[in-house]
Amino acid sequence: LLCILPVTIRNRIVSGAWVPISVNAGVNLYVGNNPDTATALAIRPNQDWNRLLRMPFAAGTRSAADGDQWFVRRVAAYAKSDPAGFVTNLGRKALELVNGHEMPRNMSIYAYRDRSPWLGALVWKLGGFGFPFSLLLPFAVLGLFAAARRSVETRVMTSFVVLYACSIIVFFPADRYRLPLLPVLMIFAVAGALSLVDSAHKPRTISLMAGILLVSAIVASLPLKFATDGIPFDAELD
């Protein structure tokens, strides 16, 4: 909050409206929370996106800040009119967030694989299994269970993982939005691997850890369908 406060104050002075950072929060909230999120998430930059941005002005708003709030009101109306659909949509986004697939937004990292032998080796998919996230997540979950209450530092990192993940789910997942989670998840993954080694002589603990790893790996490798699956990102890259 302290970091963004100067921007918020500047926005208030310049526009007369309380805008915390920018006026794209409302439209992004709407993209991830509406009766047809699949279509909204597949909207590409340029004409279709600009048409979406013009919707509040076509409805009578007169400023970008008012347009931002117009989208927020649309999301609130959707949640009120279809609470079951709204909650189901949140659950689907939670599954997408922890899936091994690197979810594209404007570009797909998979489209770059042929351009780089290093990337080709380090980022790939085999069915629902997406390397490296489908491997990272199970060990990170194990580390969260093993280390979450050991110290103030681990509790702070656990809180960051949970709160930041929730902030993504409220809007919508994408690979670049998930990226800030990875350094912290890697720390927990190492902790998970170490706890597995340390418990090698405890059959009951090892069985529990194996179960956590298996369930997490299955969840991370579910063959989900994503709204952007049909978009030719190779053509967009060219």
Helix (H) or strand (E) holding 130: strand 129-131
State residue 166's pLDDT score. 97
Does the pLDDT value for residue 220 go beyond 80?
yes
Asked if the model's pLDDT at residue 149 lies above 80, the reply is no
Residue 216 CB partners (closer than 8 Å, separation 6+):
137, 138, 141, 142
Q: What is the pLDDT of residues 72-87, one digit of tens each?
A: 999 999 999 999 999 9
Query: pLDDT tens, 1-35?
Result: 899 999 999 999 998 888 999 999 999 999 999 99
Counting residues of the chain whose pLDDT is more than 70, the rounded percentage is 99
At residue 88, the pLDDT reads 97
Task: Report whether pLDDT(45) > 90.
Answer: no
The amino acid present at 16, given as its one-letter code, is G
Average pLDDT over residues 108-113: 91
Is 120's pLDDT higher than 90? yes
Average pLDDT over residues 132-159: 91
Mean pLDDT over 187-210 rounds to: 93
Instruction: Look at residue 106 in the predicted model and tell me its pLDDT.
Output: 86
In angstroms, how far is the first alpha carbon of the chain from the final one?
A: 40
pLDDT band at residue 128 under the 50/70/90 scheme: very high
| 37-46, 86-95, 167-176, 178-187: least confidently modelled range | 37-46
Query: Over 80: is that where the pLDDT of 148 sits?
Result: no
* pLDDT, mean of residues 145-165: 89
Entry field: residues in the chain: 238
Percent of the chain with pLDDT over 90: 81
State how beta strands 124-126 and 129-131 pair. antiparallel
With contact defined as beta carbons under 8 Å apart, do 127 and 99 qualify? no
Non-local CB neighbours of 124 within 8 Å, separated by 6+ positions: 113, 130, 131
Whole-model pTM over 0.85: yes
Q: Contact, 65 vs 24, CB < 8 A?
A: no
Whether the CB-CB separation of 123 and 109 falls below 8 Å is answered with yes
Q: Summarize the confidence of residues 203-207 as an average pLDDT.
A: 91
Check whether 234 has a pLDDT greater than 80: yes
pLDDT over 90 at 209, yes or no: yes
Query: What gap in Å lies between CA 58 and CA 221, rounded to an integer?
Result: 42
In Å, the largest CA–CA distance within the chain is 69
Write the single-letter amino acid at 141: V
Mean pLDDT of the chain, nearest integer: 94
